[in-house]
Amino acid sequence: MRETWVIGAASNRFGKMRETGREAATEVALAAIESAGIEPRQIGYTFVANAFGVAEHQAHVGPLINTGLGIPEVPSCTIESACSSSSAALHEAFVHVSGGFTDAALVVGSEKLSHLDTLAATSYFACGADYPFETKNGATFPGLYATLASTSQPAYATRPEMFGAIAVKNHANGARNPHAHFQKPISMETYLASPMIASPLRLYDCCPFSDGAAALVVAAKEATPSPAREPLVIRASARAGSIAGMHDRPDMLGLPATRAAAEIAYRQAKMTPRDIQFAEVHDCFTIAEALALEDLGFFPRGTGAKESFDGTTARDGRFPVNPSGGLKAKGHPVSATGAGQVVEIFEQFNGLAGARAVPHAEIALAHNVGATGGSCSVHIFSRR
């Protein structure tokens, strides 16, 4: 396998986009290619993540993006893996580039849902669950993650303030991120007073519905030895799956796909959780961040939320988690989310993170989950 880098990255501000998903994808793709200091014609393959294009009456968006970039002859395909679509696209790009099938690949994730109301957006999202057993019986993602929360909360005596600490921390980080959907800090009082969405999850336990687009340029070191920016060396690109329907899982105190992807990633990178200096993890709900920190091996089972409460995972804590603001505050435009996590790490390593900079970071991990964990990606990056 060839050493493979992320040499360019760009994102728009998550939240509400005026542009269509396809227009936003083309804009961020061009910005990512420019940040890499290469020309669009050097791209050999475009991997697009776009789970809900049909909500805009637009599927098969890859050729449209490539046409906008002036490279219509370049092959493209759309990768769908629910909320982990663009990290799955990154994995495919890594496989192609490291395997020598192409020297440089574009990964672009884009989603626009803000023209839908909450009911319609919830119905579209719920298609990512197990339809006959979950969705058809009324389960939504807030409901499914509430089930995970109500399973682990009594098992570990997790207090609401512990989940609240995750929300407060991520909103504080989002307030420092110009890409973030929400750029306002919240207090614990605001968290505790927010309406119940699906017990025990309150409004501020939930990620919002966001539009957004993010793009990455993945290239072989030997083909682009001197990129314009500090590249991210891809030390691990791991994917794993698990039983999609939660009712069939033997264990609800974590996500098996995260544990499996993490094990592969640490093996590939020849690292342990102790080597990671900060992480962008999939906090679609606060319980998801708590479980991710445990499943990724950063903290013992049952202590993920408590570590946030104790300040360990703050931007200036011992182990910063979601310095971008995470899905909770930066936003969750489904197919742009995984690529957006890598944009954050690229900006951190390139001194572009401004007020949310994590000092002296050399090694970082990105964790992106599809739905309730039917699929999961874990990537580990280092500086050269």
Residues with a catalytic annotation lie at 83, 332
Distance in Å, CB of 13 to ligand COA, minimum: 14
Minimum CB distance to ligand COA smaller for 206 or for 223: 206
- Cα distance between residue 1 and residue 187, in whole Å: 48
Give the alpha-carbon dihedral of 249, 255, 258, 262, to 10 degrees.
Answer: -90
Residues 26-85 that bind ligand COA (CB under 6 A): 83
Residues 222-281 that bind ligand COA (CB under 6 A): none
Distance in Å, CB of 83 to ligand COA, minimum: 5
- Cα distance between residue 138 and residue 356, in whole Å: 39
- Would you call 55 exposed, middle or buried from its count of C-beta atoms within 10 A (0-12, 13-18, 19+)? middle
By CB under 6 A, which span of 97-105, 108-116, 202-210, 226-234 interacts with ligand COA? 202-210
Beta bridge partners of 81: 83
212 belongs to the binding site for ligand COA (CB under 6 A)? no
284 belongs to the binding site for ligand COA (CB under 6 A)? yes
Q: Are 349 and 267 in contact (CB under 8 A)?
A: no
141 belongs to the binding site for ligand COA (CB under 6 A)? yes
290 belongs to the binding site for ligand COA (CB under 6 A)? no
- Cα distance between residue 102 and residue 218, in whole Å: 10
Interface with ligand COA (CB under 6 A), residue from 88, 207, 214, 305: 207
Interface with ligand COA (CB under 6 A), residue from 67, 114, 122, 190: 122
- Cα distance between residue 26 and residue 103, in whole Å: 21
Minimum CB distance to ligand COA smaller for 96 or for 112: 112
DSSP 304-341: HHHHHHTTTTSTTSSS-B-TT-HHHHT---GGGHHHHH
First vs last Cα of the chain: how many Å apart? 17
- Cα distance between residue 87 and residue 79, in whole Å: 10
Distance in Å, CB of 214 to ligand COA, minimum: 17
332 belongs to the binding site for ligand COA (CB under 6 A)? yes
Interface with ligand COA (CB under 6 A), residue from 53, 109, 142, 227: 142
206 belongs to the binding site for ligand COA (CB under 6 A)? yes
Minimum CB distance to ligand COA smaller for 206 or for 255: 206
125 belongs to the binding site for ligand COA (CB under 6 A)? yes
Distance in Å, CB of 203 to ligand COA, minimum: 5
- Cα distance between residue 278 and residue 322, in whole Å: 8
Interface with ligand COA (CB under 6 A), residue from 203, 243, 253, 358: 203
Distance in Å, CB of 363 to ligand COA, minimum: 27
Number of residues that bind ligand COA (CB under 6 A): 15
Q: Where are the beta strands (DSSP E) in 191-273?
A: 196-198, 201-202, 212-220, 232-241
Q: List residues binding ligand COA (CB under 6 A).
A: 83, 118, 122, 125, 141-142, 197, 203-204, 206-209, 284, 332
